[in-house]
Structure 1
Amino acid sequence: MAAEGEASMHYTTDDALSLLGFGRFQTLVLAYSGLGWVAEAFEIMLLSFVGPAVEADWGISGAEQGLISSAVFAGMLIGSIAGGLIADRYGRRTGFLFTAVVTGIFGLLSAFSPNYTSLLTLRFVVGLGLGAGHVLSTWFIEFVPAAKRGTWMVVFHVCWTVGTILEALLAWAVMPVLGWRWLLALSSAPCFGLLIFFPLTPESPRYLCSRGRTMDATVILERIARMNKGTLPPGVLTYRPENHVDNNLGTPETALLIVEDNAGIEEDISSKSSGIVAFQALWSYDLIRSTFLLWFIYLANYFTYYGVILLTSELSNGRRTCASVRTHLMQPNTGNLYREVLVTSLAEFPGLLLAALLVDRIGRKRSMGGMLLMCGAFLAPLSVQLGEGLVTTLLFCARTCIMGSFAVLYVYTPELYPASSRNTGVGITSSLGRIGSIVSPLVIVGLLESCRRKEAVFVLDLVLFLAGVTCALFPRETKGCQIQ
């Protein structure tokens, strides 16, 4: 009985957050992390406008124009991994401080680039900062109670779509009057907003617990309780590793001893947590299957997302011949460019709404797999000639589904990893997934240039079908589950 009473006087971070609910504190965290997501959308979407302007201003070739975007994506490949390792080793706040400083400063400096080479170099460094942007989403998710975690994460991703629309409007207002340099400078402003409010941001209590700093985590939880006008559970905060990652501990009794011996775990975690340990955790018996499945799902999502954009560019403008597809893609009509970005961005709102409705009702695996298969169903008829209105509708629906799948994927991924390796796992997975965005134009544009529209649609549908089936192979569903 004494042992039972002692156990009842302990609570976890999830217990506290579930009791306190989603209140004023989480709203402020959402506003800050959402600003970071807007900042990332600004820097990505401006590539649609700056490339053609630089080509006209400096007389560079179409290939050199495309290399500006490639430099950013190459930086993001490295930055995703680096940001994850930094956030798991030194804290979430250090992770998103890295992305704000690097993206903001070098984004502003790129506005003063004297030549093409310096612009290319500076945009690569901006990509390093952008790649670490996923730390903001994992930081936010670690403050959200389990009950509505999926829905609130989808709300968080609305900030990305808002950012793309705001960037298009900013470009529409600035580019014709002031030019591309002013657009680069003004687009870095949200990053400096992150730096202004950075001193007010708290560290994640989950991260602090994973490092053995339960007293510091308790202070933050008490702050959440005051702002949400609630009270913490009775007892002492304890760090409890999830059961599914405890296979190496031996017996359940061993795991129980570790949970109860809080001082011992604090010393052990604080001494052993490092980038290497976080990386090694991805290959543990319990996580290796999920890691490999996530790699494929990310590749499929990025490949399809950009494939749908390429199809939209080719099919939505009344083009029914396949000549000069690459020229059309690389040099879009300037008068329609802002409108195209606005319209395609608006297509993402229904996808986010669909994800919000499904993710906490039918679960992550079903909602993600279902939307991937639906996207394939909407793309399939595009292999034949159709009326312009029907083509636009099908492309709109496909964009809706792939965006919804992306939103659920960004909810599901950080839930699968423990706090000690969460950002490392998300960073590496996201980095490898971006290979899909590099391969997609090579495959889809190559097929369209060869007048093989049916083959292009078939490739997209095949990838979507395999990804939809893969979703059923994940070992566990995280809907409503506590995370570490």
Structure 2
Amino acid sequence: MKQVSRTVDVQSFIDAERFSPCQWLVLIFCFLVVAADGYDTAAIGFIAPFLAHDWGIARGELGVVMSAALVGLSLGAIFAGPVADRIGRKTVLVVAVTCFGAWTLVAAHAQTITALTVLRFLTGLGLGAAMPTTITLMSEYAPARLRAFTVNAMYCGFSGGLVAGGAASAWLIPHFGWRSVLTAGGIAPLALAVLLFVLLPESPQFLAVRSGTRKQIARILKRIAPQQRLDDCTFVAPMALPGSKRKASALALVLSEGYRRRTLLLWLSCFMGLVIYYLMTNWMPTLFREAGFSIEHGALLASLFPLGGLLGNLVAGWLMDRFDANRTIVFAYLLAGVLVVAVGRCVDHPGFLGVSLFLCGTLVTSAATSMSTYAASLYPTEARNTGVAWMQGIGRIGGVTGSFIGAVLLGFGWSFGDVFGLLAVPALAAACAVFMIAKPQHGYRVSRAAE
């Protein structure tokens, strides 16, 4: 019988190899899943004014519809995180994409505000499960030298989806009505789910902490490095946990003494960051209409925000790989606080407004995106998806809060400038929370095995 002769640290193996076609495939699939979330986020914002006019509902009721998906996102992330750490990244991702595609397609045929609210909630459950799983999967396939850049590049799909949602809404609504935007947003994810099921590989790091997976890991790693001989190897995940902690649940690990402080600070910073992000994303089209801009001009200006996010994600990822990740995010949040105030003061100057929105999108999006990239680096494989998912789940509650704040402030008659000026407060709070994560915690450090 052939004996196993050597031990291979899966992450060290990936770090030593070039970025292969297999990893490009994972990146493309994860990019598309995140883009579907961005499309969904933008689409509901753009169809809201037409939906309100068509059904004769008040703007306050739109806040309930917009927030329903965010509530679902939060719960989907919270429940799916531990599941993905137990049964696998791929399985959860395929099921999640299928669910949000199917419910979006059904939502296109809703006839009442109540039905649409329920269907948006169900859509959010799938989206919430998918997002942290893509981040975890991509972070486990990316080499350390490119990890932040790769995960942030994947997250550019969200901004790309926002742009696609705005462009699709601008063309589809005049020609086919607002329901067509949801129809398109349902069909595409269903097709993507089929491709994921057939072509997407499981995370080798996840498999490395499970028994009986040696041959499966070897097949995956051979796709990354075909020249390597792996038949006689056993595989381990990079982070070693004490025996008692290995038996604990993923959530218990995330909230254990060694991780609790950073976990709570991650939750706070993500919450505050998504208050800013979702208030701007969901209410910009309506705010522009209130400020007197035409539908076309308002849609064009609103699209500058996600376009800035595309640049911001890449720059932030590059900086995080080469310098300090914590300081990169802190700096982005501080500058974002300055720029949201600047946006609110430029409403009468379209040129300056466009530049400010682009730069604001660069910083707000990159800061929010980089939080997930940063969080994935702070937890071991056994609890990584749970750590990222719970942070996103708590953060999505911030998104719900932001959506409701937008509805309340508009109801009170707040101006464009006043709404944006208020967003400097959560930006400063997020920066302070991230900064505190870097402070030492009684000398605690996560150890690594096989290094």
TM-score when scaled to structure 2?
0.86
Q: 1:393 aligns with which of 318, 330, 355?
A: 355
Note the C-alpha offset of 1:78. 1.1
Question: Which amino acid is the alignment partner of residue 51 of structure 2?
Answer: V
> Helix, strand or coil: the match of 2:108?
helix
1-structure distance, mates of 2:87, 2:273: 30
**RMSD of aligned C-alpha atoms?**
3.4
Determine if the alignment matches structure 1 residue 136 to structure 2 residue 134: yes
Give the conservation status (yes or no) of the 8 Å contact 2:283–2:403. no
1-structure distance, mates of 2:415, 2:316: 33
1-structure distance, mates of 2:415, 2:183: 41
Note the C-alpha offset of 1:412. 0.8
> Helix, strand or coil: the match of 2:57?
coil
Note the C-alpha offset of 1:345. 2.1
**CA offset digits 1:417-438 (Å, max 9, x no partner):** 1122222221111111122223
Determine if the alignment matches structure 1 residue 371 to structure 2 residue 332: yes
Determine if the alignment matches structure 1 residue 16 to structure 2 residue 13: yes
**CA offset digits 1:138-181 (Å, max 9, x no partner):** 11221111111111111111111111112222222211111122
Determine if the alignment matches structure 1 residue 90 to structure 2 residue 87: yes
Give the conservation status (yes or no) of the 8 Å contact 1:83–1:132. yes
Gap change, CA 1:58 and 1:482, over 3 Å in 2: farther
2:316 maps to: 355
2-structure distance, mates of 1:237, 1:476: 37
TM-score when scaled to structure 1?
0.80
Note the C-alpha offset of 1:223. 3.4
Q: 1:186 aligns with which of 180, 184, 187?
A: 184
> Helix, strand or coil: the match of 1:207?
helix
Match runs of 1:183-332 below 5 Å: 183-197=181-195, 198-225=197-224, 228-231=225-228, 236-240=233-237, 242=239, 245-246=241-242, 272=247, 277-307=249-279, 328=290
1:266 maps to: none
1:406 maps to: 368
Greater shift after overlay, 112-121 or 384-393? Answer: 384-393
- Structure 1: gaps spanning 5 or more residues: 1-5, 250-268, 318-326
1:253 maps to: none
Work out the percentage of aligned pairs sharing the same amino acid. Answer: 24
Note the C-alpha offset of 1:36. 1.0
Question: Which amino acid is the alignment partner of residue 434 of structure 2?
Answer: C
Give the conservation status (yes or no) of the 8 Å contact 2:208–2:217. no
- Structure 2: gaps spanning 5 or more residues: 441-446
1-structure distance, mates of 2:140, 2:49: 40
Note the C-alpha offset of 1:102. 0.8
Gap change, CA 1:442 and 1:107, over 3 Å in 2: closer
Larger radius of gyration: 1
1-structure distance, mates of 2:102, 2:25: 25
Question: Which amino acid is the alignment partner of residue 199 of structure 1?
Answer: V
2-structure distance, mates of 1:157, 1:483: 29
Determine if the alignment matches structure 1 residue 153 to structure 2 residue 151: yes
Give the conservation status (yes or no) of the 8 Å contact 2:66–2:403. no
Question: Which amino acid is the alignment partner of residue 208 of structure 1?
Answer: L
Give the conservation status (yes or no) of the 8 Å contact 1:366–1:472. yes
1-structure distance, mates of 2:352, 2:201: 49
2:444 maps to: none
Question: Which amino acid is the alignment partner of residue 423 of structure 2?
Answer: L
1:465 maps to: 428
1:38 maps to: 35
Gap change, CA 1:458 and 1:158, over 3 Å in 2: closer
Greater shift after overlay, 189-198 or 437-446? Answer: 437-446
Task: Answer 1 or 2: higher relative contact order, Cα 8 Å, separation at least 6.
Answer: 2
1-structure distance, mates of 2:406, 2:61: 20
